[in-house]
Amino acid sequence: MEDLPSARPLQVLLIEDSPLIREAVAELVESGGRACVVAAVDNEAEAIAELHSHAYEVVIVDLKLRAGTGFGVLRMLQESHADALVIVFTNFATPAIRKRCAELGGTWFFDKSSDFEAIGELIARHAAQRGFS
């Protein structure tokens, strides 16, 4: 049987403490029409609650959150959502932080100061590869 493209967009959870950046990233993610930010939260507890209540194909995680950290979210994702595309998006793009995020299952790592547009491009490619419309 042939795989047919999904009639729905990728489901995205956005975890970011800055309202301005949340809004800009959500707009970027949704601009191609292949992904939809289902929820946007600003702290670790809300992120984990969202992950327990919904199956997301993509999770975008900032490391510095209003309460808690993105590292706690990455640990939870590694334990129970290994199939999600995990994008770390942070201002703390040191080699040691990149390495730690990779160890915790961060599939992609982007520096907020230089890689902003790359998130939209990555999600569009991921959606196309997975057959999402």
3-state DSSP assignment of residue 97: helix
Residue 31 lies in a domain: yes
pLDDT at 6 (0 to 100): 57
Domain range for 93: 10-130
Share of the chain above pLDDT 90, in %: 75
63, 97 in Cβ contact below 8 A?
yes
Residue 77's φ and ψ, nearest 5 degrees, are -60, -40
Mean per-residue pLDDT of the chain: 91
Residue 4 lies in a domain: no
- Name the domain count of the chain: 1
Residue 8's φ and ψ, nearest 5 degrees, are -120, 160
Whole-model pTM: value is: 0.91
Residue 3 lies in a domain: no
Which CATH number belongs to the domain containing residue 92 in this structure? 3.40.50.2300
